[in-house]
Copies of this chain bind each other. A is one copy, B any other.
Amino acid sequence: MMELNLLISMLDLVGVAVFAASGSLVASRKEMDIVGFTLMATLTGIGGGTLRDLILDRPVFWITDQRYLVVCFGVAVLVFFTAHKLQKRYVALLWADAVGLSAFGVMGAHIAMKSGASPLASIAFGVMTATFGGLARDIAAGEKPLLLQPEVYVTAALFAAGSYLGLTYAGLAQVFAVFIAILVGFLIRAGGIALGWALPRYKGRAGRDYG
Spell out A's residues near B (CB within 8 Å).
27-28, 30-37, 39-40, 42, 50, 54-57, 59-60, 62-66, 69-70, 73, 80-81, 83-85, 87, 112, 116-121, 124, 127, 131, 135, 139-142, 144-145, 147-148, 152, 154-155, 158, 198-207, 210
Give the interface SS of chain A, mostly helix, strand, loop or mixed: helix
**A31 partner, pick from B36, B57, B154, B203, beta carbons under 8 A:** B203
CB-based nearest B residue for A84: B206
Q: Given the complex, which residues of B lie within 8 Å of A84, measured CB to CB? A: 204-207
Asked if B39 and A121 make an inter-chain contact with CB atoms under 8 angstroms apart, the answer reads no
Asked if A83 and B32 make an inter-chain contact with CB atoms under 8 angstroms apart, the answer reads no
Please give the distance in Å from A34's CB to the nearest CB on chain B.
Answer: 6
Q: Given the complex, which residues of B lie within 8 Å of A144, measured CB to CB? A: 142
Bound Cα distance A56, B64 (Å): 11
Please give the distance in Å from A83's CB to the nearest CB on chain B.
Answer: 6
A-B contacts, 30 listed (Cβ < 8 Å)? A27-B202, A30-B148, A31-B202, A32-B202, A34-B202, A35-B154, A35-B158, A35-B199, A37-B202, A39-B127, A54-B54, A54-B55, A55-B60, A55-B63, A56-B63, A57-B60, A62-B124, A63-B116, A63-B117, A63-B118, A64-B116, A64-B117, A64-B118, A66-B119, A66-B121, A69-B118, A70-B120, A83-B202, A84-B205, A142-B148
